[in-house]
C-alpha cells in the first residue's frame, strides 16, 4: 500500500471520526461512520483481494459525513427518503473528492472513486457491484440483528430490496454469517422470494 493511499485512508478515517453517533459492537464503542467504513473496507478487500486503488479508496469514503445531512431534514415518505439518499450520495462524493484532491490524486482517479461512491453502473460495473455486495454484508453482519425485531415480517420485503442489489456471490457470502434463528428465517424467506 503506497504512502499516499495510507495517508488518504487516514484522512477519511479522521473525517468519519467526527461522527457524533456512537456504534457499539462486542462491548466496544466507536464513532458509527468510522466503524462502518472500516468494516466496509474489510469486506471489499475480502470480496476483491486484487481491488484497484479507486475501489479501495471508495470503500473507506462511501458514506463519509453521513451524519451531516439528517433524514428529518427531508419530507416523510418514499419521495422524501429517495431525495435524501441522492443528496447524501452527492455529499459523500463531494467530501471524498476534496480529500482526494488534497492528497494529490488526478481528476481521473477522483472521477473513478466518486462514480463508485455514487453507485454509477450497478449490475454493470464490477467495482460498483463489489461495493454493493460489501454494503449489504456490513448491514447483515453488524446491524441486521438489532434492526429486524422492530420490523417483524416487513423485514422480508426490506431484505428483498437489498438482496436484489447483490449478485449470487454476495448471496452466498450472506449465508455464511451468524444469525439468530429468527434472523436467519427472515433472510431465507427473502432469498427464496428473490429467486421466485
As a whole number, the mean pLDDT across the chain is 94
How far is 104 from 110, CA to CA, in rounded Å?
Answer: 10
**Cβ atoms 90, 114 nearer than 8 A:** no
pTM metric for this prediction: 0.93
- 5 pLDDT band, cuts 50/70/90, is very high
Question: For the segment 47-78, what is each residue's pLDDT rounded down to a tens digit?
Answer: 999 999 999 999 999 999 999 999 999 999 98
pLDDT value, residue 195: 57
Which phi and psi angles does 10 have, rounded to 5°? -65, -40
Q: Give the residue extent of every domain in the chain.
A: 3-124, 143-196
Amino acid at each position: 500500500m503506497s504512502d499516499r493511499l495510507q495517508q488518504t485512508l487516514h484522512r477519511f478515517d479522521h473525517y468519519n471520526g467526527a461522527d457524533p453517533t456512537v456504534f457499539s459492537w462486542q462491548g466496544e464503542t466507536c464513532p458509527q461512520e468510522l466503524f462502518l467504513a472500516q468494516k466496509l473496507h474489510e469486506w471489499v478487500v475480502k470480496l476483491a483481494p486484487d481491488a484497484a486503488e479507486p475501489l479501495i479508496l471508495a470503500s473507506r469514503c462511501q458514506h463519509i459525513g453521513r451524519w451531516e445531512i439528517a433524514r428529518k431534514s427531508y419530507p416523510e415518505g418514499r419521495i422524501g427518503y429517495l431525495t435524501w439518499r441522492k443528496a447524501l450520495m452527492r455529499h459523500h462524493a463531494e467530501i471524498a473528492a476534496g480529500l482526494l484532491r488534497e492528497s494529490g490524486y488526478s481528476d481521473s482517479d477522483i472521477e473513478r472513486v466518486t462514480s463508485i461512491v455514487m453507485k454509477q453502473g450497478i449490475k454493470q460495473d464490477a467495482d460498483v457491484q463489489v461495493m454493493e455486495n460489501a454494503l449489504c454484508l456490513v448491514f447483515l453482519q453488524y446491524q441486521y440483528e438489532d434492526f429486524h425485531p422492530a420490523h417483524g415480517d416487513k423485514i422480508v420485503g426490506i431484505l428483498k430490496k437489498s438482496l436484489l442489489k447483490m449478485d449470487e456471490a454476495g448471496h452466498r457470502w450472506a449465508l455464511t454469517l451468524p444469525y439468530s434463528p429468527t434472523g436467519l428465517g427472515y433472510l431465507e424467506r427473502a432469498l427464496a422470494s428473490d429467486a421466485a
